[in-house]
Amino acid sequence: MKSWIERANVATCDFPIQNLPYGVFSRDGEAPRCGVAIGDRILDLAALQAAGLLDTGGAVFAQSALNDFMALGSVAWDRVRSRLVELLAAGGDAALREGQGLRAGALGPLAGSRLHLPFEVTGYTDFYAGRQHAVNVGTMFRGAENALPPNWLHMPIGYNGRASTVVVSGTDIHRPLGQMKPPSAEVPFFGPCRRLDIELEMGAVVGLPNRMGTPVTVAEADDMIFGYVLLNDWSARDIQGWEYQPLGPFQGKVFGTSISPWVVTKAALEPFRTTTPDREKELLPYLHEPRPLLYDIELEVHMQPAGAATSSRIAQSNFRYMYYSSAQQLAHHAIGGCRMNTGDLLGSGTISGPEKSQYGSLLELSWGGKEPFTLETGETRSFLEDGDRVTLTGWAQGDGYRVGFGDCSGTILPAPAEKNWTAETAD
Protein backbone atom coordinates (compact mmCIF):
# COMPACT_ATOMS: atom_id res chain seq x y z
CA MET A 1 0.00 0.00 0.00
CA LYS A 2 1.26 3.48 -0.91
CA SER A 3 0.32 6.95 0.27
CA TRP A 4 -0.02 10.15 -1.75
CA ILE A 5 2.39 11.65 0.81
CA GLU A 6 5.64 10.74 -0.92
CA ARG A 7 7.90 10.63 2.13
CA ALA A 8 5.68 7.94 3.63
CA ASN A 9 6.69 5.60 0.77
CA VAL A 10 10.43 5.69 1.54
CA ALA A 11 11.49 2.26 2.77
CA THR A 12 13.41 3.63 5.78
CA CYS A 13 10.66 6.02 6.91
CA ASP A 14 9.36 5.24 10.40
CA PHE A 15 5.85 6.40 9.57
CA PRO A 16 4.45 4.80 6.40
CA ILE A 17 0.73 4.33 5.85
CA GLN A 18 1.07 0.87 7.41
CA ASN A 19 1.92 2.52 10.74
CA LEU A 20 -0.21 5.62 11.53
CA PRO A 21 0.90 6.04 15.18
CA TYR A 22 -0.96 8.42 17.50
CA GLY A 23 0.55 11.31 19.42
CA VAL A 24 -0.11 14.78 20.81
CA PHE A 25 1.46 17.87 19.26
CA SER A 26 1.32 21.65 19.15
CA ARG A 27 2.69 24.46 16.98
CA ASP A 28 3.27 28.18 17.48
CA GLY A 29 1.81 28.32 20.97
CA GLU A 30 -1.43 26.61 20.01
CA ALA A 31 -3.14 24.20 22.38
CA PRO A 32 -1.92 20.59 22.20
CA ARG A 33 -4.19 18.20 20.28
CA CYS A 34 -4.07 14.69 18.89
CA GLY A 35 -2.39 13.77 15.64
CA VAL A 36 -1.08 10.93 13.53
CA ALA A 37 2.42 10.72 12.03
CA ILE A 38 2.55 10.03 8.28
CA GLY A 39 5.85 10.35 6.42
CA ASP A 40 7.42 13.65 7.50
CA ARG A 41 4.05 15.19 8.39
CA ILE A 42 1.58 15.27 11.26
CA LEU A 43 -2.09 14.91 10.45
CA ASP A 44 -4.22 17.04 12.78
CA LEU A 45 -7.04 14.73 13.86
CA ALA A 46 -8.93 17.52 15.59
CA ALA A 47 -9.06 19.42 12.29
CA LEU A 48 -10.28 16.31 10.45
CA GLN A 49 -12.95 15.78 13.07
CA ALA A 50 -14.06 19.42 12.89
CA ALA A 51 -14.33 19.08 9.11
CA GLY A 52 -16.61 16.07 9.47
CA LEU A 53 -14.13 13.55 8.05
CA LEU A 54 -13.78 11.56 11.28
CA ASP A 55 -16.69 10.43 13.41
CA THR A 56 -16.02 9.28 16.95
CA GLY A 57 -19.18 10.58 18.61
CA GLY A 58 -17.35 13.40 20.36
CA ALA A 59 -14.40 15.78 20.09
CA VAL A 60 -11.90 13.28 21.49
CA PHE A 61 -9.05 14.48 19.26
CA ALA A 62 -9.23 18.10 20.42
CA GLN A 63 -7.93 16.92 23.80
CA SER A 64 -4.33 17.18 25.02
CA ALA A 65 -4.13 13.42 25.61
CA LEU A 66 -5.25 10.25 23.83
CA ASN A 67 -7.12 8.85 26.85
CA ASP A 68 -10.64 9.79 25.70
CA PHE A 69 -10.05 8.14 22.33
CA MET A 70 -8.43 5.06 23.84
CA ALA A 71 -11.39 4.63 26.19
CA LEU A 72 -13.75 4.24 23.20
CA GLY A 73 -12.50 0.71 22.58
CA SER A 74 -11.39 -1.46 19.70
CA VAL A 75 -14.40 -0.86 17.44
CA ALA A 76 -13.63 2.87 17.41
CA TRP A 77 -9.90 2.23 17.08
CA ASP A 78 -10.46 0.06 14.00
CA ARG A 79 -12.99 2.45 12.44
CA VAL A 80 -10.69 5.48 12.77
CA ARG A 81 -7.70 3.57 11.43
CA SER A 82 -9.67 2.38 8.38
CA ARG A 83 -10.88 5.91 7.71
CA LEU A 84 -7.36 7.33 7.95
CA VAL A 85 -6.11 4.73 5.48
CA GLU A 86 -8.91 5.77 3.08
CA LEU A 87 -7.90 9.42 3.34
CA LEU A 88 -4.13 8.88 3.04
CA ALA A 89 -3.87 6.04 0.53
CA ALA A 90 -2.90 6.77 -3.05
CA GLY A 91 -6.13 6.54 -5.03
CA GLY A 92 -8.25 6.64 -1.86
CA ASP A 93 -10.84 9.18 -0.72
CA ALA A 94 -9.75 12.55 -2.13
CA ALA A 95 -11.47 14.72 0.50
CA LEU A 96 -8.18 15.54 2.24
CA ARG A 97 -5.84 15.28 -0.73
CA GLU A 98 -7.82 17.66 -2.93
CA GLY A 99 -9.32 19.89 -0.25
CA GLN A 100 -6.69 22.61 -0.48
CA GLY A 101 -7.73 24.60 2.56
CA LEU A 102 -8.23 21.54 4.73
CA ARG A 103 -5.03 19.94 3.51
CA ALA A 104 -2.97 23.04 4.31
CA GLY A 105 -4.50 23.37 7.76
CA ALA A 106 -4.57 19.73 8.82
CA LEU A 107 -1.32 18.40 7.38
CA GLY A 108 1.72 20.16 8.81
CA PRO A 109 5.43 19.40 9.05
CA LEU A 110 6.71 17.07 11.73
CA ALA A 111 9.90 19.11 11.95
CA GLY A 112 9.35 22.11 14.19
CA SER A 113 6.26 20.67 15.88
CA ARG A 114 6.36 20.20 19.63
CA LEU A 115 5.55 16.67 20.72
CA HIS A 116 3.94 16.17 24.12
CA LEU A 117 3.34 13.19 26.39
CA PRO A 118 0.85 11.28 24.21
CA PHE A 119 -1.48 10.14 27.00
CA GLU A 120 -2.13 10.89 30.64
CA VAL A 121 -0.25 8.19 32.52
CA THR A 122 -2.68 7.04 35.18
CA GLY A 123 -0.41 4.34 36.62
CA TYR A 124 3.01 2.86 35.88
CA THR A 125 4.25 -0.66 36.55
CA ASP A 126 7.70 -1.90 35.57
CA PHE A 127 8.38 -5.59 35.05
CA TYR A 128 11.50 -7.73 35.20
CA ALA A 129 10.49 -10.08 32.43
CA GLY A 130 13.53 -10.44 30.17
CA ARG A 131 15.30 -13.71 30.97
CA GLN A 132 18.77 -12.78 29.70
CA HIS A 133 18.73 -9.55 31.70
CA ALA A 134 17.53 -11.36 34.83
CA VAL A 135 20.21 -14.03 34.43
CA ASN A 136 22.93 -11.43 33.85
CA VAL A 137 21.99 -9.31 36.86
CA GLY A 138 21.41 -12.33 39.08
CA THR A 139 24.78 -13.79 38.12
CA MET A 140 26.54 -10.54 39.02
CA PHE A 141 25.00 -10.30 42.47
CA ARG A 142 24.14 -13.88 43.49
CA GLY A 143 26.23 -16.12 41.29
CA ALA A 144 25.21 -18.20 38.27
CA GLU A 145 23.70 -20.98 40.37
CA ASN A 146 21.24 -18.55 42.01
CA ALA A 147 20.77 -16.12 39.12
CA LEU A 148 16.99 -16.47 38.86
CA PRO A 149 14.79 -16.17 41.95
CA PRO A 150 12.64 -19.30 42.58
CA ASN A 151 9.46 -17.54 41.37
CA TRP A 152 10.89 -16.07 38.17
CA LEU A 153 10.03 -18.94 35.79
CA HIS A 154 6.46 -19.09 37.15
CA MET A 155 5.22 -15.49 36.89
CA PRO A 156 6.21 -12.04 35.58
CA ILE A 157 7.89 -10.11 38.41
CA GLY A 158 7.13 -6.39 38.68
CA TYR A 159 6.87 -3.38 40.95
CA ASN A 160 4.71 -0.26 41.00
CA GLY A 161 6.59 2.82 39.78
CA ARG A 162 5.76 6.52 39.63
CA ALA A 163 3.42 7.79 36.92
CA SER A 164 4.28 11.38 37.90
CA THR A 165 7.80 11.16 36.48
CA VAL A 166 7.01 9.47 33.17
CA VAL A 167 8.10 12.06 30.59
CA VAL A 168 8.11 12.41 26.83
CA SER A 169 11.23 11.95 24.73
CA GLY A 170 13.50 15.00 24.76
CA THR A 171 12.94 15.79 28.44
CA ASP A 172 16.22 16.20 30.33
CA ILE A 173 16.84 14.01 33.39
CA HIS A 174 18.60 15.26 36.53
CA ARG A 175 21.07 12.91 38.15
CA PRO A 176 19.28 11.87 41.36
CA LEU A 177 20.44 12.37 44.93
CA GLY A 178 20.11 9.60 47.46
CA GLN A 179 21.61 7.21 49.99
CA MET A 180 24.32 4.79 48.91
CA LYS A 181 26.44 2.24 50.72
CA PRO A 182 29.34 0.47 49.04
CA PRO A 183 30.00 -3.08 50.31
CA SER A 184 33.22 -1.91 51.96
CA ALA A 185 31.55 0.91 53.95
CA GLU A 186 30.10 0.50 57.42
CA VAL A 187 27.45 3.22 57.04
CA PRO A 188 25.70 4.83 54.05
CA PHE A 189 26.52 8.24 52.62
CA PHE A 190 24.38 10.82 50.80
CA GLY A 191 25.06 12.45 47.45
CA PRO A 192 24.58 12.29 43.68
CA CYS A 193 24.15 8.86 42.11
CA ARG A 194 27.46 7.52 40.79
CA ARG A 195 26.18 4.52 38.83
CA LEU A 196 23.45 6.02 36.66
CA ASP A 197 22.04 3.62 34.08
CA ILE A 198 19.45 3.08 31.37
CA GLU A 199 17.04 0.24 30.69
CA LEU A 200 15.98 -0.56 27.14
CA GLU A 201 12.29 -1.45 27.33
CA MET A 202 8.98 -1.37 25.51
CA GLY A 203 5.88 0.06 27.17
CA ALA A 204 2.37 -1.33 26.71
CA VAL A 205 -0.38 1.32 26.90
CA VAL A 206 -3.66 0.17 28.43
CA GLY A 207 -6.65 1.44 26.45
CA LEU A 208 -9.55 -0.30 28.15
CA PRO A 209 -10.02 -0.75 31.91
CA ASN A 210 -11.27 -3.71 33.86
CA ARG A 211 -13.44 -3.56 36.97
CA MET A 212 -11.84 -3.78 40.41
CA GLY A 213 -12.12 -7.34 41.68
CA THR A 214 -12.47 -8.75 38.15
CA PRO A 215 -9.52 -10.77 36.76
CA VAL A 216 -8.90 -10.92 33.02
CA THR A 217 -7.59 -13.68 30.79
CA VAL A 218 -4.46 -13.24 28.71
CA ALA A 219 -6.64 -12.91 25.60
CA GLU A 220 -8.77 -10.25 27.29
CA ALA A 221 -5.63 -8.46 28.44
CA ASP A 222 -4.34 -8.34 24.88
CA ASP A 223 -7.64 -6.78 23.79
CA MET A 224 -7.23 -4.12 26.51
CA ILE A 225 -3.87 -2.93 25.14
CA PHE A 226 -4.11 0.06 22.78
CA GLY A 227 -0.51 0.13 21.59
CA TYR A 228 3.18 0.32 22.43
CA VAL A 229 5.90 2.91 23.02
CA LEU A 230 9.66 2.81 23.47
CA LEU A 231 10.57 3.16 27.14
CA ASN A 232 13.79 4.00 28.98
CA ASP A 233 13.54 3.36 32.71
CA TRP A 234 16.48 5.40 34.01
CA SER A 235 18.04 3.63 37.00
CA ALA A 236 20.30 4.70 39.87
CA ARG A 237 22.05 1.39 40.50
CA ASP A 238 23.93 2.40 43.66
CA ILE A 239 20.83 3.91 45.27
CA GLN A 240 18.81 0.86 44.22
CA GLY A 241 21.42 -1.58 45.52
CA TRP A 242 21.26 -0.18 49.06
CA GLU A 243 17.49 0.24 49.30
CA TYR A 244 15.89 -2.65 47.43
CA GLN A 245 15.77 -5.26 50.20
CA PRO A 246 13.23 -6.25 51.38
CA LEU A 247 10.60 -4.40 49.30
CA GLY A 248 12.31 -3.72 45.98
CA PRO A 249 13.20 -0.58 43.98
CA PHE A 250 12.12 2.83 45.26
CA GLN A 251 14.24 5.99 44.93
CA GLY A 252 16.59 4.29 42.49
CA LYS A 253 13.77 4.17 39.92
CA VAL A 254 11.30 6.99 40.56
CA PHE A 255 13.24 10.01 39.28
CA GLY A 256 12.49 9.57 35.56
CA THR A 257 11.07 7.24 32.91
CA SER A 258 11.17 8.37 29.27
CA ILE A 259 8.77 7.22 26.54
CA SER A 260 8.59 7.89 22.82
CA PRO A 261 5.99 10.47 21.69
CA TRP A 262 4.22 8.10 19.28
CA VAL A 263 1.98 5.20 20.32
CA VAL A 264 2.19 2.47 17.70
CA THR A 265 -1.08 0.54 17.63
CA LYS A 266 -1.52 -3.23 17.81
CA ALA A 267 -3.13 -3.08 14.37
CA ALA A 268 0.10 -1.73 12.89
CA LEU A 269 2.12 -4.42 14.67
CA GLU A 270 -0.21 -7.30 13.79
CA PRO A 271 1.99 -8.66 10.93
CA PHE A 272 4.95 -8.89 13.31
CA ARG A 273 3.50 -11.08 16.05
CA THR A 274 5.74 -13.86 17.30
CA THR A 275 5.67 -16.43 20.08
CA THR A 276 7.21 -16.36 23.51
CA PRO A 277 10.09 -18.80 24.09
CA ASP A 278 9.73 -22.41 25.16
CA ARG A 279 9.02 -22.76 28.86
CA GLU A 280 11.49 -24.42 31.17
CA LYS A 281 8.64 -24.84 33.66
CA GLU A 282 4.97 -25.07 32.71
CA LEU A 283 3.09 -21.88 33.49
CA LEU A 284 -0.14 -21.96 35.46
CA PRO A 285 -3.23 -21.96 33.21
CA TYR A 286 -4.14 -18.29 33.79
CA LEU A 287 -0.85 -17.30 32.08
CA HIS A 288 -1.22 -19.51 29.00
CA GLU A 289 -1.13 -17.59 25.71
CA PRO A 290 -3.95 -18.34 23.24
CA ARG A 291 -1.98 -16.93 20.29
CA PRO A 292 1.42 -15.31 19.57
CA LEU A 293 1.58 -12.17 21.71
CA LEU A 294 5.16 -10.95 21.37
CA TYR A 295 6.38 -8.78 18.48
CA ASP A 296 9.48 -8.87 16.28
CA ILE A 297 10.70 -5.31 16.90
CA GLU A 298 14.33 -4.34 16.29
CA LEU A 299 15.75 -2.09 19.01
CA GLU A 300 18.89 0.03 19.28
CA VAL A 301 20.55 2.18 21.94
CA HIS A 302 22.71 5.17 20.98
CA MET A 303 24.86 7.34 23.27
CA GLN A 304 26.29 10.79 22.55
CA PRO A 305 28.56 12.43 25.15
CA ALA A 306 28.46 16.19 25.65
CA GLY A 307 30.54 17.85 22.94
CA ALA A 308 30.72 14.77 20.72
CA ALA A 309 29.81 15.37 17.08
CA THR A 310 28.09 12.02 16.63
CA SER A 311 26.41 9.32 18.65
CA SER A 312 27.58 5.73 19.03
CA ARG A 313 25.39 2.67 18.83
CA ILE A 314 26.10 0.73 22.00
CA ALA A 315 23.48 -2.03 21.84
CA GLN A 316 21.06 -3.84 19.54
CA SER A 317 18.25 -6.06 20.76
CA ASN A 318 14.74 -7.24 19.89
CA PHE A 319 11.41 -7.31 21.71
CA ARG A 320 11.05 -11.00 20.84
CA TYR A 321 13.64 -11.83 23.53
CA MET A 322 11.09 -11.24 26.29
CA TYR A 323 10.09 -14.27 28.35
CA TYR A 324 6.64 -12.89 29.20
CA SER A 325 4.44 -10.87 26.82
CA SER A 326 2.78 -7.61 27.81
CA ALA A 327 -0.60 -9.37 27.74
CA GLN A 328 0.68 -11.93 30.26
CA GLN A 329 2.02 -9.12 32.42
CA LEU A 330 -1.33 -7.32 32.32
CA ALA A 331 -3.29 -10.49 33.10
CA HIS A 332 -1.01 -11.23 36.05
CA HIS A 333 -1.32 -7.62 37.26
CA ALA A 334 -5.13 -7.90 37.33
CA ILE A 335 -5.45 -11.49 38.55
CA GLY A 336 -5.79 -10.54 42.22
CA GLY A 337 -8.48 -7.95 41.54
CA CYS A 338 -6.37 -4.88 40.68
CA ARG A 339 -8.24 -2.34 38.56
CA MET A 340 -6.33 -1.33 35.44
CA ASN A 341 -7.20 2.09 34.01
CA THR A 342 -7.18 3.72 30.61
CA GLY A 343 -3.72 5.26 30.40
CA ASP A 344 -1.88 2.73 32.57
CA LEU A 345 1.64 2.01 31.35
CA LEU A 346 3.41 -1.36 31.68
CA GLY A 347 7.18 -1.41 31.22
CA SER A 348 8.33 -4.71 29.74
CA GLY A 349 11.54 -4.95 31.73
CA THR A 350 15.02 -4.66 30.26
CA ILE A 351 15.28 -6.33 26.85
CA SER A 352 18.62 -8.11 26.49
CA GLY A 353 19.61 -10.63 23.86
CA PRO A 354 22.04 -13.54 24.24
CA GLU A 355 25.11 -11.66 22.97
CA LYS A 356 26.90 -8.90 24.91
CA SER A 357 26.22 -6.42 22.08
CA GLN A 358 22.50 -7.08 22.73
CA TYR A 359 22.48 -6.20 26.43
CA GLY A 360 19.91 -3.50 27.26
CA SER A 361 21.59 -1.76 30.21
CA LEU A 362 25.00 -0.27 30.99
CA LEU A 363 25.13 -2.47 34.09
CA GLU A 364 25.31 -5.46 31.75
CA LEU A 365 27.40 -3.86 29.02
CA SER A 366 30.10 -2.92 31.55
CA TRP A 367 29.42 -6.01 33.69
CA GLY A 368 28.82 -4.07 36.86
CA GLY A 369 31.42 -1.44 35.97
CA LYS A 370 34.28 -3.95 35.79
CA GLU A 371 34.53 -3.89 31.97
CA PRO A 372 34.21 -0.30 30.65
CA PHE A 373 33.29 -0.07 26.96
CA THR A 374 34.59 2.37 24.36
CA LEU A 375 32.36 4.58 22.23
CA GLU A 376 33.01 5.19 18.55
CA THR A 377 34.13 8.72 19.48
CA GLY A 378 36.85 7.38 21.79
CA GLU A 379 35.29 7.98 25.22
CA THR A 380 34.89 5.11 27.65
CA ARG A 381 31.86 4.47 29.82
CA SER A 382 30.74 2.19 32.61
CA PHE A 383 27.75 4.31 33.62
CA LEU A 384 26.28 7.63 32.49
CA GLU A 385 28.12 10.91 32.91
CA ASP A 386 26.57 14.37 33.00
CA GLY A 387 25.85 15.63 29.49
CA ASP A 388 25.42 12.15 27.99
CA ARG A 389 22.46 11.85 25.66
CA VAL A 390 20.86 8.42 25.24
CA THR A 391 18.47 7.64 22.38
CA LEU A 392 16.42 4.48 21.89
CA THR A 393 15.07 3.61 18.46
CA GLY A 394 12.89 0.75 17.32
CA TRP A 395 11.07 -0.58 14.28
CA ALA A 396 9.34 -3.69 12.92
CA GLN A 397 10.68 -4.52 9.48
CA GLY A 398 8.15 -5.25 6.74
CA ASP A 399 8.58 -5.99 3.03
CA GLY A 400 9.70 -2.63 1.64
CA TYR A 401 8.51 -0.64 4.66
CA ARG A 402 9.02 -0.46 8.38
CA VAL A 403 6.76 0.39 11.30
CA GLY A 404 8.87 2.70 13.45
CA PHE A 405 8.49 4.31 16.86
CA GLY A 406 10.60 7.42 16.33
CA ASP A 407 13.14 8.30 19.02
CA CYS A 408 13.06 8.06 22.80
CA SER A 409 15.85 10.29 24.08
CA GLY A 410 17.02 12.13 27.17
CA THR A 411 20.11 14.04 28.31
CA ILE A 412 21.60 13.74 31.80
CA LEU A 413 21.86 17.00 33.74
CA PRO A 414 23.92 17.42 36.93
CA ALA A 415 22.30 16.57 40.23
CA PRO A 416 20.36 19.38 41.93
CA ALA A 417 22.39 21.52 44.31
CA GLU A 418 22.43 20.00 47.77
CA LYS A 419 20.79 21.94 50.56
CA ASN A 420 21.90 22.53 54.12
CA TRP A 421 19.81 19.61 55.32
CA THR A 422 20.48 20.34 59.00
CA ALA A 423 19.54 24.02 58.87
CA GLU A 424 16.28 25.11 60.40
CA THR A 425 13.80 26.55 57.91
CA ALA A 426 11.37 29.39 58.45
CA ASP A 427 7.67 28.65 58.65
Query: Which residues does the annotation mark as catalytic?
Result: 133
Q: Which residue from 264, 253, 257 is spatially nearest to 227, judged by alpha carbons?
A: 264
How far apart are the C-alpha atoms of 39 and 60, rounded to whole Å? Answer: 23
Q: What is the 3-state secondary structure of the chain?
A: CCECCHHHHCCCCCCCCCCCCEEEEECCCCCCEEEEEECCEEEEHHHHHHCCCCCCCCCHHHCCCCHHHHCCCHHHHHHHHHHHHHHHECCCCCCCCCCHHHHHHHEEECCCCEEECCCCCCEEEEECCEHHHHHHHHHHHHCHHHCCCCCCCCCCCEEECCHHHEEECCCCEECCEEEECCCCCCCCEEEECCCEECCEEEEEEECCCCCCCCCCCHHHHHHHEEEEEEEEECEEHHHHHHHCCCCCCCCCCCCCEEECCCEEEHHHHHHHEECCCCCCCCCCHHHCCCCCCEECCEEEEEEECCCCCCCEEEEEEEHHHECCCHHHHHHHHHCCCCCCCCCEEEECCCCCCCCHHHCCCHHHHCCCCCCCEECCCCCEECCCCCCCEEEEEEEEECCCCEEEEEEEEEEEECCCCCCCCCCCCCC
Burial string for 287-316 (b: 16+ CB within 10 Å, else e) reads bebeeebbbebbbebbbbbeebeebbebbb
How far apart are the C-alpha atoms of 138 and 148, rounded to whole Å? Answer: 6
